[in-house]
């Protein structure tokens, strides 16, 4: 397998700290509560036996109560404010931690305002990653470092990209959008003209159909969140409803499809059902409040909420209404799903219900036993997320996570679960359910339906193993 | 649905009432069909959109060597660069429990797709540069390498849509698309 940045490069510093605070030899004592363990060579009395977990009040249920095996706590913690658990500081000295000093930046004025803001230089590691093998510039994909982000919105500069012939530098004054084919009035639009229509904003995810395809591999690869799941982004997209322009052009009765085409060197092209085009498709001029970034389709990209990423054609220059699909390269030889037999699913439009845990995850080691928040994202191209369950014991027991609003259709939801890590091995999983009732499948269920040769639309439950050092790794469980 | 710290944004405010759309302006500029032709590069499976011209595999071999081989490898089987992919071979590898090798010959259901893709996206460094005759010829060459057409078969707007691809019946609709 490739080396960094795809390696799950757990921090050596974290590993050292963990090894200093925890002796690696752990014996499970099953007669105790499921949170309890006995350590040999113990260094920290707070970790021993029941002291590793809250001394709970006896009224039930309390927020700190276990809600599922291996330390998953009740999501009521998130609704009822401060933790009742007394173990948040487990392993920390209660003495004076450090002497506070007045830092240099408090003594002289800082520099002035930049014309366009940049992240702190101390956040320089929060960047997109690029997959091997090396491709020509702008060909292939960059991946969002989801494990270093929070909330539901992807910063525009960190939104993943997938391009086939580089990123065109388009002069918006020269760019045109053509609508033709089975319409009464073929029309051409300038970008300036598009910007004068009534606009709408919509918070929506875009996920590449090839996201998470590493999990089709027979053996779990040593990859991190970005490398496996980083072809996912979410933005507030703003633009003109496609239906507005199609109505203006006048749709002929025999039209059933819209062929969308980009202005890149590959003239990337996909066929879209007219029903989707008339439903919630948006011609986006803005992304997170500013003009769409070039790598995401400047000056105008198509947004098809919930549909696989490449259908959201970037640098949109042409929409041709037709009776049938074009059967382009990307809807025949790519983005079709080869099943267990010789057949392949074609036109797999929606991203189906899915979730991932972004923290803890490979490279984000746990430093010591105690309380942690499990945080992640859940999304469905078919609607809204209704529930996310989490497990710390590889799916043997589950508890519902807290969902952070707003919960929007075809947008990621941030979920959070409270976890009391006892320092022992754990397998963390999340399982999402959407409001159509679809439940994220296990890897076995997923493979049973379609096999593992399909490459695209992998949405099965993913697993992170936490070892006794606090390191996380990608596993099949 | 329970939420954590509900954000006070009213979601419905993100969408504008449909009433505004009823008064939408009309800024599209009419365009004549003849003026659209330069942009209308879509090729349909039935051949609609195919330009006049012709070519054979024998004629396409030299074009392939000059324009395609650097990335796709000699005779399309051994890609020179990983992102280009193999164009030839893999027949029979879609069978259950085999590792699929998806090429033009083993996987693509329509020959028109090959013409469409080459004409819009290839050669990589100078897309949309081949003449119609060159496009037919190099399409014929790739089909010939896969054993689908003969070396001297004339490929043109009439014959290309009639080419029967081996995996033509290999595709079924996804059962769970939204209505």
The closest CB to that of B4, out of A78, A187, A198, belongs to: A78
CA distance B91 to B107: 8
For A94, residues 6+ apart whose C-beta sits below 8 A from its C-beta are none
For B99, residues 6+ apart whose C-beta sits below 8 A from its C-beta are A453, B93
Inter-chain CB proximity A382 and B178 less than 8 Å? yes
Answer yes or no: is pLDDT of A237 > 50: yes
- B80 pLDDT band, cuts 50/70/90, is confident
For A267-325, how does the pLDDT look when each residue is reduced to its tens digit (9 = 90+)?
999 999 999 999 999 999 999 999 999 999 999 999 999 999 999 999 999 999 999 99
For A447-457, how does the pLDDT look when each residue is reduced to its tens digit (9 = 90+)?
999 999 999 99
Tell whether omega for the bond before A406 is within 30 degrees of 0, i.e. cis: yes
- A34 pLDDT band, cuts 50/70/90, is very low
Instruction: Specify the pLDDT at position A94.
Output: 60
Answer yes or no: is pLDDT of A76 > 90: no
Q: Specify whether the CB–CB gap between A411 and A84 falls below 8 A.
A: no
Mean pLDDT of chain A: 87
Answer yes or no: is pLDDT of A79 > 90: no
Could you report the predicted ipTM of this complex, rounded to two decimals?
A: 0.89
B95 touches chain A (CB under 8 A): yes
B84 touches chain A (CB under 8 A): no
Interface test with B, best of A63, A185, A186 (most B CBs within 10 A): A186
Q: Is A405 helix (H, G, I), strand (E, B) or coil?
A: coil
Mean pLDDT of chain B: 89
For A399-438, how does the pLDDT look when each residue is reduced to its tens digit (9 = 90+)?
999 999 999 999 999 999 999 999 999 999 999 999 999 9
Instruction: Specify the pLDDT at position A96.
Output: 75
- A98 pLDDT band, cuts 50/70/90, is confident
Neighbours of A102 (CB within 10 A): 7
- What Å distances lie between residue A196 and A172, A174, A316, B26, CA to CA? 14, 17, 17, 10
Interface test with B, best of A216, A316, A344, A348 (most B CBs within 10 A): A344
Gyration radius of chain B's alpha carbons: 23
Sheet bearing A385-391, strands edge to edge: A399-400, A385-391, A426-434, A463-466, A472-475
B49 touches chain A (CB under 8 A): no
- The alpha carbon of A48 is separated from its chain's Cα centroid by a whole number of angstroms, namely 36
A-chain residues within 8 Å CB-CB of B46? Answer: 324
Q: Is B169 helix (H, G, I), strand (E, B) or coil?
A: coil
Q: Specify whether the CB–CB gap between B47 and B54 falls below 8 A.
A: no
């Amino acid at each position: 397998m490739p080396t960094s940045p795809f390696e799950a490069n757990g921090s050596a510093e974290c590993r050292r700290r963990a090894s200093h605070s925890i002796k690696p030899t752990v014996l499970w004592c099953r007669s105790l509560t499921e949170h309890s363990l006995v350590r040999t060579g113990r260094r920290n009395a707070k970790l021993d036996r029941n002291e590793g977990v809250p001394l709970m009040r006896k009224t039930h249920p309390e927020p700190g109560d276990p809600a599922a095996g291996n330390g998953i706590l009740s999501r009521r913690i998130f609704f009822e404010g401060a933790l009742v658990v007394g173990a948040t500081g487990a392993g920390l000295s209660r003495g004076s931690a450090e002497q506070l000093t007045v830092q240099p930046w408090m003594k002289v004025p800082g520099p002035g305002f930049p014309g366009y803001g940049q992240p702190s230089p101390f956040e320089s590691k929060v960047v997109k990653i690029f997959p091997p093998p090396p491709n020509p510039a702008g060909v292939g994909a960059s991946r969002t470092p989801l494990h270093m982000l929070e909330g539901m919105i992807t910063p525009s500069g960190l939104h993943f990209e997938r391009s086939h012939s580089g990123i065109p530098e388009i002069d918006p004054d020269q760019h045109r959008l053509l609508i033709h084919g089975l319409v009464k009035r073929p029309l051409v639009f300038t970008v300036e003209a598009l910007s004068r229509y009534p606009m709408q904003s919509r918070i929506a995810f875009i996920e590449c159909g090839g996201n998470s395809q590493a999990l089709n591999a027979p053996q779990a690869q040593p990859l991190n969140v970005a490398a496996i799941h980083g072809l996912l982004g979410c933005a507030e997209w703003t633009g003109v409803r496609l239906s507005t322009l199609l109505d203006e052009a006048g749709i002929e009765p025999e039209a059933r499809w819209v062929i969308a085409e980009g202005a890149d060197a590959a003239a990337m092209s996909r066929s879209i059902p007219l029903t989707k085009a008339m439903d919630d498709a948006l011609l986006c001029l803005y992304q997170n409040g500013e003009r769409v970034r070039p790598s995401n389709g400047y000056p105008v990209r198509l947004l098809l909420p919930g549909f696989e990423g490449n259908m959201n054609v970037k640098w949109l220059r042409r929409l041709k209404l037709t009776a049938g699909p074009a059967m382009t390269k990307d809807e025949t030889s790519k983005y079709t799903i080869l099943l267990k037999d010789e057949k392949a699913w074609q036109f797999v439009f929606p991203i189906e219900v899915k979730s991932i845990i972004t923290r803890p995850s490979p490279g984000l080691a746990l430093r010591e036993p105690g309380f942690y928040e499990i945080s992640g994202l859940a999304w469905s191209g078919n609607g809204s997320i209704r529930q996310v369950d989490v497990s710390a014991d590889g799916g043997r027991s589950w508890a519902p996570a807290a969902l952070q609003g707003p919960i929007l259709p075809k947008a990621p939801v941030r979920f959070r679960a409270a976890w009391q890590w006892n320092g022992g091995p754990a397998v963390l999983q999340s399982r999402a359910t959407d409001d159509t009732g679809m439940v994220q499948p296990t890897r076995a269920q997923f493979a049973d339906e379609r096999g593992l040769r399909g490459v695209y639309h992998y949405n099965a439950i993913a697993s992170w193993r936490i070892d006794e050092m606090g390191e996380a790794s990608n596993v099949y469980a | 649905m329970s939420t954590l710290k509900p954000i006070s944004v009213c979601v419905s405010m993100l969408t504008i009432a449909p009433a505004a759309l009823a008064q939408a302006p009309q800024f599209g500029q009419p365009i004549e069909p003849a003026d659209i032709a330069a942009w209308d590069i879509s090729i349909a499976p039935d051949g609609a959109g195919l330009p006049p011209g012709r070519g054979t595999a024998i004629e396409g071999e030299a074009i392939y060597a000059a324009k395609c081989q650097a990335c796709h490898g000699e005779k399309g089987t051994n890609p020179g660069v990983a992102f280009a992919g193999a164009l030839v071979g893999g027949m029979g590898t879609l069978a259950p429990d085999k590792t699929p090798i998806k090429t033009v010959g083993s996987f693509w259901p329509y020959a028109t797709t090959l013409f469409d893709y080459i004409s819009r996206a290839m050669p990589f460094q100078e897309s949309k540069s081949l003449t119609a005759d060159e496009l037919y010829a190099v399409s014929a060459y790739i089909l010939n390498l896969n054993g689908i057409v003969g070396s001297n078969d004339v490929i043109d707007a009439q014959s290309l849509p009639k080419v029967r691809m081996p995996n033509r019946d290999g595709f079924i609709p996804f059962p769970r698309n939204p209505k």
